[in-house]
A and B are shown apart, each in its own frame.
Chain A
Amino acid sequence: MRMPVSAAIGLFFTALYFLAAIFADLIAPYGMAEIVGGVWDPVSADHWLGTDNIGRDLLSRMIYGGQTTIFIATMGTLLSFSVGSVLGFTAAVAGGWLDQVLSRFVDLMMAIPSLIFALVVLSVMPVTVPVLILVMGILDSTRVFRLSRAVAVDITVMDYVEAARLRGEGRGWVIFSEVLPNALSPLVAEMGLRFIFMVLFISTLSFLGLGVQPPLADWGGIVKENKEGIVYGIPAALIPAFAIATLAISVNLVADWILNRTTSVKGGRGG
């Protein structure tokens, strides 16, 4: 099956951002915290995007910022997926009181908006990168839990799961060898959406001054540092907007394609 054009474009830009993040040290023209020019210098041959509020090269800040943002978002997504899907599958396979306890607890977590709860917790926690990943990953695992439980409940009534149980396989084996492979495709598509959510989440926290701390760069922080420039007509703070929006749309296009592909494999709609 051929890949649609939109998915190819999405995949291209997603790969571009990830490569830029991985090889940030090689491609960034200047250091992350190196002051190389005046305050808010305009775009020039030396500084492709101009300089920021204290004279650092904005292109380099954007590349290093992308590295921080994408790293935190990726780790957060991995954490939320490992916690959410393992608990979700366990709840679906085990059923009974364990399912009830986990599901009601997730209902409760989701009754408080994630951003508000994150702010409450961060008011007493030290704001460091591992803590941010932990808080965001755990708060977001509730959504993964709901999805993976819903998917797994459909799978656990299949004959092959029944057969595995009758063979005397343990709960762990059923989860990892029977349920997981068959639930993988919707989870992968969801992973793209959760990743975008993480990017927006960490950017928002950093913008509020409660995420990544200076001098470390990240996209939300770049907005915060350069926001005063807006009033003088300097668009430096809008550049991360462009980066976040293109990354979000690209990942969405890829996720849409994966979702369509898997439904057509299972005899559903779409191509």
Chain B
Amino acid sequence: MHPILKLVAQRVALGILLLWAASVLIFVGTQILPGDVAQSILGQAATPQSLANLRAELGLNEPPVARYFAWLGGVLTGDLGTSLTNGRDIATAMGGRLWNTLFLAFWTALIAVPTAILLGLVAVRYQGRWPDKLISGTTLATVSVPEFLLGYIAVFFLAVQYRVFPSISTVYDSMSLGEKLNAIALPIIVLTLTILGHMMRMTRAAILNVMQSAYIETAELKGLGGFAVIARHAFPNAIAPVINVVMLNLAYLVVGVVVVEVVFVYPGMGQYLVDHVAKRDVPVVQACGLVFAAVYIGMNLLADVMSILANPRLRHPK
């Protein structure tokens, strides 16, 4: 077998193992309460009868290990259980929302990734001069402010003061793509700002690292201009760390999306999770936690695999 295939296969197997362990952790996380889950869901005013009913519904009379495997078996066959609060099937309720979240994340990535790389290149080209300082300073400010505050600052100026975009992102199926994009413009801007800073800084650092190599000096000495050196010689060699950073930030997007969806009342996974945590709807929370963990682990796995593929030494073994 080609060594690179073997490496990739190992990473994928490791990812699957990690996902399984994460499912155990999520399950345990909802069982560690020192008392009774049913009591904590219903509160102090619960009658013994309703407690007994809820216990039976949650399967609390069975041992935890049996409950875990019942849950895992359901998840593997696509059955995520039913919601406690409204009795609806979780998988169907989640489907549309997952799609909405991915839609938001996709457009954010489409805007944020090229912008971050471009800004990183500009910062390297004018290293130490005002464009570099301006970009670095602005991105330091954006990473110091939590997402939800960035969100309200955007609403205050772009939706209320200047009325450019709507402050609430309602989307439904009958909207055209343009209308949908207009509705989610503000969440896209906020999410882009939150991941842009980190991505741009790491791109800058990765390219600066390569800029110290001897072949860069050769390229400069043979008379190539500033941007040509960076684009033709430095960037291709910095691509592996840059890809890694991009993927890690896209994984971070999964977390950022939770908060931003709440700010803009966007009907996605994050809003769904937060609503049901407040209602103490354990099956929904478990299912959402697992989906988020799966996406996060998947993105990290993809980052690993892509940096293996981007390494020419591994691609062409001796």
Contact = CB atoms under 8 A, between A and B. Distances in A.
Interface of A: 107-109, 111-117, 119-126, 196, 200, 203-204, 207-210, 220, 223, 227, 230-233, 235, 237-238, 240-241, 244-245, 248-249, 252
Interface string B183-219: 0000000000000000000000000000000000000
10 contacts: A108-B25, A111-B21, A111-B293, A112-B25, A114-B255, A120-B289, A124-B30, A125-B33, A203-B148, A245-B144
Contacts of A113: 252, 254-255, 292-293, 296
B160 A121 contact: no
B22 A248 contact: no
A201 B180 CA distance: 30
A8 to B, nearest CB: 18
B146 A204 contact: yes
Contacts of A249: 140-141, 144
B175 interface: no
A233 B41 CA distance: 38
A231 B156 CA distance: 7
Contacts of B140: 249, 252
Interface of B: 18, 21-22, 25-26, 29-33, 37, 40-41, 140-141, 144-150, 152-153, 155-156, 159-161, 167, 252, 254-255, 258-259, 262, 273-274, 276-278, 280-282, 285-286, 288-289, 292-293, 296-297, 300
Given A111-B293, A207-B259, A120 B30 contact: yes
Contact of A119 (B155, B161, B254, B273): B273
A249 B144 CA distance: 6
A6 B285 CA distance: 44
B155 to A, nearest CB: 5
Given A117-B29, A124-B30, A223 B152 contact: yes
Contacts of A117: 25-26, 29, 289
Contact of A123 (B30, B153, B159): B30
B147 to A, nearest CB: 8
Contacts of B276: 123
A126 B144 contact: no
Given A120-B285, A121-B32, A109 B25 contact: yes
Given A116-B273, A248-B144, 10 more contacts: A108-B25, A115-B259, A116-B289, A116-B293, A117-B26, A119-B258, A119-B274, A123-B285, A233-B160, A248-B145
Nearest to A248: B144
A115 B258 contact: yes
A227 B156 CA distance: 10
Considering residues A120, A204, A208, which has the most beta carbons from chain B within 10 angstroms of its beta carbon? A120
B146 A244 contact: yes
A245 B282 CA distance: 34
A269 B166 CA distance: 49
Contacts of B255: 113-116
Contacts of A227: 152
Contacts of B286: 120
Contacts of B258: 115-116, 119, 208
Contacts of A203: 146, 148
A153 to B, nearest CB: 22
Closest 8 A/B residue pairs (Cβ): A241-B149, A248-B144, A123-B285, A120-B289, A113-B255, A123-B277, A116-B292, A112-B293
Contacts of B146: 200, 203-204, 207, 220, 244
A238 B273 contact: no
A249 B141 CA distance: 8
A230 B156 CA distance: 6
Contacts of B149: 223, 238, 240-241, 244-245
A126 B33 CA distance: 9
Contacts of B288: 116
B97 to A, nearest CB: 15
Nearest to A109: B25
A161 B81 CA distance: 55
Contacts of A122: 277
A245 B150 CA distance: 10
Contacts of A232: 160
Contacts of B37: 124
A106 to B, nearest CB: 12
Contact of A111 (B41, B144, B160, B296): B296
A40 to B, nearest CB: 14
Contacts of A124: 30-33, 37, 40-41, 280, 282
B33 A208 contact: no
Contacts of B18: 107-108, 111
Contacts of A123: 30, 276-277, 280-282, 285
A112 B152 contact: no
A227 B289 CA distance: 27
